């Protein structure tokens, strides 16, 4: 399965069946009267959130989805069969936009598991001539045709549901950190490299299995990301719903003159992407402290305290000082609430057909 977070599809609801024009013809029943049945309603198209799905890849393979048409009515007062509904299963966190001549309109946010929404209603079946009989019209010689179903062009955009989002420069050690706190195993290289797709890790409290936290590892940002440099801001959509951000900076990017410049650089890119996201609560982390001397580490801690920054210093590779950070993650998860996704109606830059490697979602105990 490949990770695709955007797709465009067309949905068509079924047409209603035509009503029947018929008169009862039986031996010994003169002038039996009209008995044409009604046509069946066309099937509708519904979208349903499914927690088992993680990508919109299937909707790149097939673009047109049609519900069944209703059957026409028949004589002897037999109504036509209703068309079968088509239910499309989408990953939880999918936004559904309807495309029209005046732009896009948000139809649904499938943020709740098993949420279901009707996006294209089937056409009504036509009435048979039996429906129109009355004391003044005993032999109606007309019936109704079935109505057409709705047809819509939809844009699907997946925004991952996560409690915490990991941000930072490339090679900051975000992927290594997520392997320490969950069983996710993203690809990690021994040379400067950046994650190419979001990875999800899920921590489950061993005391309370129902208490869990989803952490999203977002591909690294670089200066100029808002202008499309590197991977650009393509994947920032996946941290829009997060309760808070975990901003990781490698100690290799900490200088003497302005040690926290890496934090400021990424925060500026966030603000350029969206001011609200730039103000999201953050936990600042300096990683790879195993590469520096204890004396240098104490200097950085003193500098952080003097600058009024509450920074966690860890080594994700060696598991040094991970526990205090994990406790802070749980505290932030319990004290903050999820955010609504930021709506972007403009088309995303880049090739719509571009595909990415698989996304990892693994549940494990902390």
Q: 332-353, pLDDT tens digit by residue?
A: 888 887 766 656 664 544 444 4
Q: Which residue has the higher pLDDT, 64 or 357?
A: 64
pLDDT at 302 over 60: yes
Taking only the tens place, the pLDDT of each residue in 139-157 is 888 888 999 999 999 989 8
State the average pLDDT for the chain. Answer: 79
Whether this prediction's pTM lies above 0.85 is answered by no
Residue 208: what pLDDT? 72
pLDDT given at position 342: 59
State pLDDT tens for residues 259-287. 888 888 888 878 877 777 778 888 899 98
The tens digit of pLDDT for each residue in 81-132 reads 999 999 999 988 888 998 888 788 888 888 888 889 999 999 999 998 888 8
- Determine the average pLDDT of the residues in 298-317: 89
CB-count exposure of residue 195 (10 Å: 0-12, 13-18, 19+): buried
Q: Which long-range contacts (CB under 8 A, 24 or more apart) does 335-340 make?
A: 336/243, 336/244, 336/281, 337/243, 338/161, 338/163, 338/241, 338/242, 338/243, 339/240, 339/241, 339/242, 339/243, 339/280, 340/109, 340/241
Cα 60 from Cα 9, distance rounded (Å): 8
Residue 188, exposed/middle/buried by CB under 10 A (0-12, 13-18, 19+)? middle
pLDDT tens readout for residues 93-106: 888 998 888 788 88
pLDDT of residue 92: 85
Which percentage of the chain shows pLDDT scores above 90? 16
Retrieve residue 13's tokens: 């609801």
Mean pLDDT score, 20-46: 87
Average pLDDT over every residue of 168-187: 71
| Residues paired with 248 in a beta bridge | 168, 285
| Residue 362: pLDDT over 50 | no
d(CA 93, CA 158): 6
The pLDDT of 192-199, averaged and rounded, is 56
CA nearest neighbour of 175 among 218, 204, 212: 218
Tokens in use for 73? 């009515």
**174 and 196 Cβ atoms separated by less than 8 Å:** no
SS3 content of the chain, % helix, strand, coil (to 5): 20, 25, 55
Q: Which residue has the higher pLDDT, 61 or 211?
A: 61
């Amino acid at each position: 399965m490949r990770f695709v977070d955007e797709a465009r599809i067309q949905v068509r609801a079924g047409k209603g069946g035509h009503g029947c024009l018929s008169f009862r013809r039986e031996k010994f029943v003169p002038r039996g009267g009209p008995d044409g049945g009604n046509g069946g309603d066309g099937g509708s198209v519904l979208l349903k959130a499914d927690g088992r799905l993680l990508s919109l890849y299937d909707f790149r393979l097939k673009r047109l989805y049609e519900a069944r048409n209703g059957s026409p009515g028949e004589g002897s007062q037999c109504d036509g069969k209703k068309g079968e509904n088509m239910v499309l299963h989408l990953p939880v966190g999918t936004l559904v936009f309807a495309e029209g001549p005046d732009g896009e309109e948000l139809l649904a946010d499938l943020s709740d598991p098993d949420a279901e929404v009707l996006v294209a209603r089937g056409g009504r079946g036509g009435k048979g001539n039996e429906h129109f009989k009355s004391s003044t019209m005993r032999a109606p010689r007309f019936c109704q045709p079935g109505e057409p179903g709705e047809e819509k062009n939809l844009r699907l955009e997946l925004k991952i549901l996560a409690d915490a989002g990991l941000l930072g420069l490339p090679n900051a050690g975000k992927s290594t950190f997520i392997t320490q706190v969950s069983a996710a195993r993203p690809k990690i290289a021994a040379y400067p490299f950046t994650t190419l797709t979001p990875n999800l890790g899920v921590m489950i409290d061993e005391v309370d299995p129902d208490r869990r936290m989803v952490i999203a590892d977002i591909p690294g940002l670089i200066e100029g990301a808002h202008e499309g440099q590197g991977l650009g801001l393509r994947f920032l959509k996946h941290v829009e719903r997060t309760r808070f951000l975990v901003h990781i900076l490698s100690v290799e990017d900490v200088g003497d003159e302005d040690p926290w410049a890496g934090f400021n650089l990424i925060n500026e890119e966030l603000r350029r992407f969206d001011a609200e996201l730039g103000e999201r609560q953050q936990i600042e982390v300096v990683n790879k402290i195993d590469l520096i001397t204890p004396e240098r580490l104490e200097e950085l801690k003193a500098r952080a305290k003097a600058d009024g920054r509450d920074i966690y210093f860890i080594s994700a590779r060696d598991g040094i000082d991970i526990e205090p950070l994990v406790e802070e993650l749980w505290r932030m998860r319990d004290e903050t609430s999820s955010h609504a996704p930021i709506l972007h109606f403009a088309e995303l830059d880049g090739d719509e057909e571009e595909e990415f490697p698989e996304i990892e979602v693994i549940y494990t105990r902390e």
